[in-house]
Each structure stands twice: as C-alpha cells, then as structure tokens.
C-alpha cells in the first residue's frame, strides 16, 4: 500500500486538485479515518487545536473535551495563538 500513497503524492504534483478532491471524498466517506488523520496532524503539530476542530466540524472546546476524555494530550494556546484566536473571533462578529 505504501507504493500507492507514494504514487498519489507524485500525481498530486501535477494534478493537485484531482487528488485533493479524491482525498476529500474518501475522508468524507470514512469519518473515523478522517478523525484519525486530523488528530495525528494535531499531535504532530502540523495543525493547531482550532484547525483540528474546524476540520472535524466541532467547536474547539468540544474537541478539547473529547481529547481530554480520551487521554490525548492538549497543547495549550501560546500567547501568539491566543491573539490569532481573538482576531479570528472578532472577524466573525
């Protein structure tokens, strides 16, 4: 299976939208895999908690509570992240 992923990665260089659309369809059809992908990206510090929540259609606090109940470590917001969060919240008001 690894070779298929590597080939999809190559194809994504020339046809990024097609691969992105196919991946999105796959993840929509497989919510548990999508959740695992998002949580792993969060744990690998590729995305923050707010982005993870957004990807999963949850409020940040709701996801934080879920992760805590599952024993998954929570990265607390840095001062910089907190400023970004406040600006984003004001943008939606």
What local confidence, expressed as pLDDT, does residue 83 receive?
A: 84
Please give the C-alpha separations between residue 86 and each of 13, 38, 55, 59, 77, in angstroms, as whole numbers: 35, 23, 19, 14, 11
What local confidence, expressed as pLDDT, does residue 29 receive?
A: 97
What local confidence, expressed as pLDDT, does residue 34 receive?
A: 98
Total number of residues shown for the chain: 93
Torsion of CA 20, 7, 29, 43, to 10 degrees: -80
Q: What is the pLDDT along the chain (93 residues), one digit of tens a residue?
A: 899 999 999 999 999 999 999 999 999 999 999 999 999 999 999 999 989 999 999 999 999 999 999 999 998 777 787 787 788 778 766
Q: Apex CA 39: angle with CA 35 and CA 42, to 5°? A: 145
pTM: 0.75
């Amino acid at each position: 299976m690894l070779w298929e992923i590597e080939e999809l990665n190559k194809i994504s260089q020339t046809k990024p939208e097609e691969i992105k659309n196919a991946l999105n369809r796959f993840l929509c059809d497989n919510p548990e895999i999508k959740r695992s992908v998002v949580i792993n990206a969060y744990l690998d510090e590729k995305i923050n908690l707010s982005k993870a929540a957004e990807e999963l259609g949850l409020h940040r606090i709701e996801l934080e509570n879920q992760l805590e109940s599952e024993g998954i470590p929570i990265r607390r917001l840095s001062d910089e992240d907190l400023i970004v969060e406040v600006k984003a919240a004001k943008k939606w008001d």
